[in-house]
A and B are shown apart, each in its own frame.
Chain A
C-alpha cells in the first residue's frame, strides 16, 4: 500500500530565504507526482506535475525534483515571500488511474 510522508510538518523561515520541502513515498511504481498549495479555507491549487519519466519541473521560483528509485521528491522555493505562506501537499498517482495518494502536507510560514 502506497504511503506518502512529508517532513517537516511545519516550517517557519524569514523572508528571502531559499527552502526545500520534502516528500517521500513507499512504492516507486508511480505514474506521476503532483505538488499542491492549500491556503486556509480554500481548495488545492496545482503547482507542478512531474511525470514518472521526468526528473524535474520548474515554474517561476518553484522547482520540483523526482527520484523515483529512491521514492523521493523535493519542492524548492527560491527567495521566499510572505505570500508563499500556505500548506504544501504532494500526491502520487500509482497503479490505479484515479488513486492519487496525498501526504499530510508541510505548513510553511514565511515571516516578513
Chain B
C-alpha cells in the first residue's frame, strides 16, 4: 500500500499564476479530502468527495479555488489566480466509509506564493 500520494512536494510561484496540486488516494478508498494547514489557522477542511462527487465545498475560501475528481484514483486542487495569502501546506487525505474510518494523509504540498 503506497499510501496517499501528493505532488508536487513543494511549489513556488508568483502571484497571479495558476497552481495545480495533485492527489492519488489509497486504492479502494471512496472518500477524499483536501485540507490546508497554516500556523495561524491550523488544519482546515477545504472540500471532500465521496465516490468522486463533491459533497461539501463550504471550506473553499474563494472562487479562485476549485477541485475536481475525474476518477477514483485522482484529484486536483487548482488555485487561479494565486495570491501570497494562499501560501500554506495543502494536504490530501482519504478514507473508507468516512464516519467510522480513520483518515490517511499524504505528505502534503508546501505552496509558496511570492
Show the binding face of A for B, using Cβ within 8 Å: 31-32, 34, 36, 41-46, 49, 51, 89, 91, 93, 96-100, 102-105
Given contacts A43-B108, A44-B91, A96-B56, 7 further A-B contacts (CB under 8 A): A43-B91, A46-B102, A46-B103, A51-B100, A93-B98, A98-B50, A99-B56
Knowing A43-B108, A89-B43, A105-B42 touch, does A100 contact B103 (C-beta < 8 A)? yes
B2 contacts chain A at the CB level, 8 A cutoff: no
| Residue of B whose beta carbon sits closest to that of A98 | B48
Q: Give the A-B contact count at a CB cut-off of 8 A.
A: 55
B48 to A: closest C-beta gap in Å: 4
User: Measured between alpha carbons, how far is A45 from B98 in the docked complex, in Å?
Assistant: 16
Contact check, B105 vs A104: say whether CB atoms are below 8 A apart.
no
CB pair B105–A98 under 8 Å, yes or no, is: no
Count B-side interface residues using an 8 Å CB cutoff.
23
- A98-B55, A99-B56, A103-B42 in contact; A46/B48 too (CB < 8 A)? no
> What residues of chain A lie closer than 8 Å to B100, measured between beta carbons?
31-32, 51
CB-CB under 8 A for A99 and B105, given A31-B100, A32-B99, A43-B91: no
